[in-house]
Structure 1
């Protein structure tokens, strides 16, 4: 599959939006309709490359094509997202051979107010549009053809995890205790790919969705906890339970007043007292969920019980909390430190590790912090760095895990110009040779680089 850029995704979304607006006014043969659809077919073909299908849709309000998300959409993209969500569509598969006629029919259904979310798929089939299908094939999540786009696999799993956490929390918001089957299905995929390659999902934990913080934070903690557990060599059953605990660690926030939960600044003492209830509330919820192991509820209860037992809930400080809980605590701490808040700038990954070292032995288990640092490397995944060639690169694999595969993605050349097509390289070459060495970390904000989009691409 070809490298898909944000410009590609934005152009495709704008062409889709233009088509939706014009299909009810003009016939397919009219240039106002035909021209954007022909361009869209050509653009999709380029994005497919040698693959046979293209996946697009909406995840947590963000439009995506394959692994490329538009986290800062323009008006046309926002309108397309609204159209898709109105029809209950969160994912679409476009197959090779798609024609302007196919896309015309699809756009017409999106524009037709009489077509509901319940009837959309039926109408699509009735029109005989076989090259556009709602949803994404299971193989996107790693269960299909051998060699299917590797970059697509983690993006699909990340999207599924977000949806599972979001829908689980919304079920609780609506007064229902959901089954753990959906979460368990997502966890099975996450554990499987992590056991094959420990760093597969690690880069995705650097994605920060500030509009859906609770959901994205939960998934990020799940990924970080799972990766650390795999790095420690724990068995598959333990990986399942730790990953589940990470995904559900903040589920008790569904029981916290939304004005407190969404407060833009630091909480008052009274508000913080209320917020602290989320750990015990979450534990009680998890205990009631079917097919969720007891160890998960324990980790949810104790993830704010500090290593020196000065955390909360206060009544649980003398309880025994094992390795699972302390792993989730380390993951939770790292993601919180590296996340932008209205009262706190995001800390660069390398700086975050220095802060965690200061917390080792008090808030965090010191041995686990050392293992976490070894896993992340001197320059953790998601770090933007300057090489001694003066190029700017994004770390994709931590140093201890460098191998024959690329470990960094070069985004800017030595003259400071953004590369049209980023280059994947490994810093450690065969026979002891090196492509380059890292000189220093770089703040992505200063270079106007969207790290998340490159980690997903």
Structure 2
């Protein structure tokens, strides 16, 4: 299958991968025909890319980082529990179910990731219309647990890290919905109000049974930066929790690669470039290097142009060299379709590079 920008969809194309609505219910199944009305609906819901069926690339099948059922169940639990907490902060209000509910989810995610050898951080925002806060919380949790496993944390530390990542933005449930969904740029006063979510989250989690204090500090500190330029306390370097330093990277990456009401999404390689501009002063270099080596900057099925002038799609991603994927060449330098497509392994053909990604100018 191929991954193409929403603006390149044509009526008559067939969907390659099912799409879920905000309640986790399948909205469109594989091989569903894309009509003009369906395409408009997908665009209205903020999807940037869609997988479509293509006989030349039918063997290119993206593998989810976690099981489909795990992801659906996790989103349902996040949605249900976060909605219970939505509303103004109330002093003394407790949420005793949080620790048990979300610890179980974190363990399921850990098990799924452990079963996937050489798991890569994939673009995960192409087939779900879920509310940004719910989807973002899950994505950050998955990315962070994977990095924690690579780092070698114990199972208990991974659980604490995963809980902190899953609940890092829980304080946003205490902010007005119109503020979170504002289409235009926030005023200075509104931005200061949004920044309060870090403190709100910490206060919600710090005394909860089943929520370790180190996990609560992830909510408090995930916007702190090494040079002290972050918030809410302007912490520096190792004053910031080690877990929060991981989440600072995954939180920023997922936010940049997700469509928002006020700006379009970046592609993975663009987001990685932005992260690296903060290497050493915003984000920890060693952690950023672990992230870089596990992020699929060119997602499976993405259309690319090579330095040879040929065009094709990313057909395989190497775990060791994710920046040098296998490309299925579909057209010659003149744009003519090849009768017999062929694969170029960029990890072997070092003189050939990717020069352009389809959709980069549309959503970058």
- TM-score, normalised to structure 2, is 0.70
Report what 2:74 is aligned to.
161
Q: Secondary structure at the match of 1:205?
A: coil
Q: Deviations over 1:144-190 (max 9, x none)?
A: xxxxx976963222222222221221121277724322222221121
Q: Secondary structure at the match of 1:252?
A: helix
CA contact (8 A) 1:154 1:201 kept: no
Shift of 1:259: 1.6
Structure number with the bigger relative contact order (C-alpha 8 A, sep ≥ 6) is 2
1:443 to 355, 358, 362: 358
CA contact (8 A) 2:145 2:158 kept: yes
- Superposition pairs for residues 309-328 of structure 1, below 5 Å? 309-314=228-233, 320-328=239-247
CA contact (8 A) 1:327 1:368 kept: yes
- Closer, same or farther in 2 for the Cα pair 1:173/1:69, shift >3 Å? farther
CA contact (8 A) 1:391 1:413 kept: yes
Q: Deviations over 1:73-118 (max 9, x none)?
A: 957998xxxxxxxxxxxxxxxxxxxxxxxxxxxxxxxxxxxxxxxx
Report what 2:54 is aligned to.
none
2:310 to 383, 390, 413: 390
1:295 aligns with 2:208: no
1:262 to 161, 169, 181: 181
1:212 aligns with 2:131: yes
Shift of 1:315: 7.3
- Superposition pairs for residues 316-355 of structure 1, below 5 Å? 320-355=239-274
Shift of 1:271: 0.7
Shift of 1:196: 2.7
CA separation in 2, counterparts of 1:308 and 1:351? Answer: 23
CA contact (8 A) 2:21 2:27 kept: yes
CA contact (8 A) 1:205 1:219 kept: no
Quick check: 335-344 or 222-231, which moved more? 335-344
CA separation in 1, counterparts of 2:342 and 2:210? Answer: 41
CA contact (8 A) 1:60 1:212 kept: no
In structure 2, list runs of 5 or more residues that go unmatched: 42-61, 88-92
Quick check: 307-316 or 55-64, which moved more? 55-64
CA contact (8 A) 1:191 1:226 kept: yes
RMSD: 4.5
Q: Secondary structure at the match of 1:291?
A: coil
Q: Secondary structure at the match of 2:206?
A: helix
Q: Deviations over 1:125-156 (max 9, x none)?
A: xxxxxxxxxxxxxxxxxxxxxxxx97696322
Q: Deviations over 1:304-335 (max 9, x none)?
A: 11111221113767993322110000101111
CA separation in 2, counterparts of 1:70 and 1:269? Answer: 45
Shift of 1:298: 1.0
CA contact (8 A) 1:252 1:283 kept: yes
CA separation in 2, counterparts of 1:348 and 1:225? Answer: 19
CA contact (8 A) 2:268 2:298 kept: yes
1:281 aligns with 2:197: no
- Closer, same or farther in 2 for the Cα pair 1:176/1:323, shift >3 Å? closer
1:171 to 84, 96, 99: 84
Report what 2:111 is aligned to.
192
Normalized per residue, the structure richer in helix is 1
Report what 1:307 is aligned to.
226
Q: Secondary structure at the match of 1:392?
A: strand
CA separation in 2, counterparts of 1:167 and 1:424? Answer: 47
Quick check: 207-216 or 300-309, which moved more? 207-216
CA contact (8 A) 1:62 1:69 kept: no
CA contact (8 A) 1:225 1:246 kept: yes
Q: Secondary structure at the match of 2:305?
A: strand
Larger Rg computed on CA atoms = 1
- TM-score, normalised to structure 1, is 0.58
1:181 to 100, 106, 111: 100
Q: Secondary structure at the match of 1:386?
A: strand
Report what 1:222 is aligned to.
141
CA separation in 1, counterparts of 2:230 and 2:196? Answer: 12
